[in-house]
Amino acid sequence: RKHELYSIKQDILLQSVQIIKRHGADLGSTREGCNYP
């Protein structure tokens, strides 16, 4: 059961990363400007 819960959490994490990357593509230029001096 612990293993199941872990994989579920990992799925949610991967989905979150994909969503963030998708939004990040829109804000990419702004974010890069913030990251680099």
- Which residues 6+ apart lie within 8 Å of 31 measured at CB? 24
Give the pLDDT of residue 18: 92
Secondary structure letter of residue 32 according to DSSP:
H
How far is residue 28's CA from residue 20's CA, in Å, rounded to a whole number? Answer: 11
The pTM assigned to this predicted structure is 0.49
Backbone dihedral region for residue 13 (phi beyond 0: left; psi -120 to 50: alpha; all else: beta):
alpha
Give the pLDDT of residue 20: 86
- Taking only the tens place, the pLDDT of each residue in 1-37 is 778 888 999 999 999 999 988 877 776 655 555 555 5
Give the pLDDT of residue 35: 57
